Amino acid sequence: LKPDLRSGPFSADDDQAIRDAVAAAESAGHAVAWAELGRTIGRSGPSVRKRYMTTLKPDLRSGPFSADDDQAI
């Protein structure tokens, strides 16, 4: 265990830092350095990546399937 890493819920500031870092990396044409970003906000790289991919990603959809989704399935 690493005592310098926080656990528990992400704060709004954490979420905004993740969004900003991902946007900056994408606009520069670079891959996101998840481990470096995690160190910046005091979290592990995998937990930061998971937070982005499952909660913060802009094109992430939630809710019921659309008619197009049902047709594709």
Report the mean per-residue pLDDT for the chain: 92
Q: Residue 32: is its pLDDT beyond 80?
A: yes
pLDDT band at 1 (very low <50, low <70, confident <90, very high): low
Instruction: Return the closest-CA partner of residue 16 out of 37, 47, 44, 45.
Output: 37
pLDDT (tens digit, 9 = 90+) per residue, 40-72? 999 999 999 999 999 999 888 778 888 998 899
Q: Which own/partner pairs from 49-57 qualify as long-range (CB within 8 Å, at least 24 positions apart)?
A: 51/10, 51/14, 51/15, 51/18, 52/18, 52/19, 52/22, 55/15, 56/15, 56/18, 56/19, 56/22
